[in-house]
A = this chain, B = another copy of it.
Amino acid sequence: MKRVALVGTGLIGGSIGLALRSRDVEVVGFDTLPERAHEAVELGALDRVVTGPDACAGVDLAVVAVPVNDVVGAATALLDVGVAVVTDVASVKAPVVHGVEAARADAAGRFVGGHPMAGSEQEGVAGAESRLFEGSAWVLTPTPRTDADAFAAVRSLVDLTGGEAVALDPDEHDALVAMVSHVPQLAASTLMDLAAQRGADHRALLRLAAGGFRDMTRIAAADPAIWPDICVSNRDAIVAALDRYLEALEGIRNVVATGERQGLLEVLERARTARRNLPVGATDASDLVELRVPVADRPGVLAEVTTTAGRLGVNITDVEIAHSTEGRAGVLVITTSREGSRELEAALVSAGYHPAISPIT
């Protein structure tokens, strides 16, 4: 990867620019706010500002890092001028991916939805950091239309930033981030707002906020500007996840009200075990395996195999399709962590594939 274009140079776009430039990739870009693109140049996140989509035609890959509602427009403009591969970084994926497919059925194979699961309570390009993505999951959402080469290119981009590529179906992604990202944000902001309201009458209250409260409400300090779009785009999944959370909280409220010590302890013990077992990114490179999956070279296989891995929590460290010299057959070669690879193999067997696993030496 030699040249990448960034459309949108805020916190995430700027961080991608810094990461890529530290790996000797040339990064050009533009922003709806021209001064923000110039700031990105000053901060070292861009080599230079370009005028718009037309000027990006020759890049290897373009990253759309704009608010979720503007992604489809920006991505189709890039596809239309012939950019080889386009990806985005929006927090909601189904409306974006289905939107691009609906708008450009023929070119949609070159668009791969993406969502780096990393953020910051900083704001704008000034808060950009080259190491923002290191060790974090970066979801890619291939569909049956996705080109394997386009997927491999975006996966390489993730690799250059230090992220860990995890493939998921776009709708499944949206349901999962509702639970681990959108509901936590709303829960933290609601708690902070409520405490501040109570604190208006009891100024001591906020002085009592110790480390636990501070940790729990930290995300409430983030820029709220992106949230109305996210909540509208992912409304159904967020409402469903919030309803589950409300139900669980009502349950714990009733446990407290009735003084059931054992019931309370069980929930807290389960939560503690789960929190201590939260996976912490960063696959050990010495512990990788290669999965070779003979496939008919037909659309849909890439998405099916990679999202099966994603559902099992297995990240994709490398991917390529080795085409056979004749006919439409081929082999999808995926590199993954050893952990989970046997379950992935079993899942693929159930789905009718014939995978072979071998360690990487």
Contacts and interface: CB of A to CB of B under 8 A. Distances in A.
A210 B246 contact: no
A267 B194 CA distance: 10
A212 B183 contact: no
B257 A253 contact: no
Given A188-B216, A211-B118, A214-B278, A268 B227 contact: yes
Contact of A198 (B179, B185, B203, B313): B179
A276 B278 CA distance: 28
A103 interface: no
B203 A313 contact: yes
Copies in the assembly, this chain: 2
A186 interface: yes
A190 B267 contact: yes
A231 B186 contact: no
Interface stretch (A36-44, A75-83, A218-226, A326-334): A218-226
Contacts of A278: 206, 209, 214, 217
Interface string A223-254: 11101100110010011001111101111110
A315 interface: yes
Interface residues of A, number: 99
Secondary structure dominating the interface of A? helix
Contact of A249 (B117, B216, B246): B246
Contacts of A206: 180, 274, 278-279, 313
B271 A136 contact: no
Contact of A219 (B136, B137, B215): B215
Contacts of A120: 211
A252 to B, nearest CB: 5
A278 B221 CA distance: 10
Interface stretch (A2-10, A47-55, A153-161, A258-266): A258-266
A198 to B, nearest CB: 6
B253 A243 contact: yes
Interface string A161-177: 00010101000100011
13 contacts: A119-B210, A166-B207, A166-B208, A177-B208, A179-B198, A180-B210, A186-B249, A187-B249, A206-B278, A209-B279, A215-B218, A215-B219, A249-B249
Closest 7 CB pairs of A and B: A224-B268, A203-B313, A196-B274, A228-B261, A189-B271, A212-B219, A117-B210
